[in-house]
Amino acid sequence: MNDQRDPSPAGQLPKTIVLVGLMGAGKSCIGRRLAARLDVPFVDADFEIEKAAGLTIAEIFEKYGEAYFRDGERRVMTRLLQGEPCILAAGGGAFMDADTRKLIKDKALSLWLRAELDTLVARTKGRSHRPLLNSGDPRETLQQLMDTRYPVYAEADVAVDTGLDNPNVTASRALDALEKHLGRSLDAAP
């Protein structure tokens, strides 16, 4: 997870695009591709939170608890949404915070990467950096999170289905959906 923000202007992108969706939906993977296609910086909110705290997300949860993490997440999202337009991958819980959600709605365009349970389970398997999935049965946890979060993620401006297929194809679908929503072309490619 690298901060790839650079000082160049953000091309044709009118606003930051915030990728929302559950852990394992591919927000970073698709986000990087979208940023490359649009020639704008890619910013990963989780990485920015870790940088600001000087701790990994797992360490923040362990030392200070989830509420503390959410406060930091809200502050970092607020700062990032004040910057130049970029592709911003939010942590899976960011859009669930009413203040952060309102800020995203006011300042950015939100794109929900909607994935089925099997995709999320496959994509998060064997990885230990996500504290919410480190105890209990990850499949059950993800199902519960789908139940509570999907109705809220559905408030995003644009929704795109994502699975285990080629991420370049999903990125193209996401770009098409964004262009349809905006009513104009965004692709920076010549």
* Long-range contacts from 53-58, C-beta under 8 angstroms, 24+ separation: 56/129, 57/91, 57/129, 57/130, 57/131, 58/128, 58/129, 58/130, 58/131, 58/134
Please give the Cα distance from 145 to 14 (Å, whole number). Answer: 31
Q: Of these, 93, 103, 157, 160, which contacts ligand S3P (CB under 6 A)?
A: 93
Please give the Cα distance from 19 to 26 (Å, whole number). Answer: 9
Nearer to ligand S3P, 46 or 157 (CB): 46
Check binding of 41 to ligand S3P (CB under 6 A).
no
Check binding of 18 to ligand S3P (CB under 6 A).
no
Q: Tell me which residues in 48-77 interact with ligand S3P (CB under 6 A).
A: 57
Q: Of these, 18, 103, 130, 158, which contacts ligand S3P (CB under 6 A)?
A: 130
Please give the Cα distance from 126 to 121 (Å, whole number). Answer: 10
Check binding of 23 to ligand S3P (CB under 6 A).
yes
Report CA dihedral (168, 173, 175, 181) to the nearest 10 degrees: -170
Per-residue contact track with ligand S3P, 146 to 185, x per CB under 6 A?
----------------------------------------
Among candidate residues 15, 86, 104, the one with its CA nearest the CA of residue 47: 86
Nearer to ligand S3P, 12 or 28 (CB): 28
- Total residues contacting ligand S3P by CB under 6 A comes to 10
Contacts to ligand S3P by CB under 6 A: 23, 27, 46, 57, 91-93, 130-132
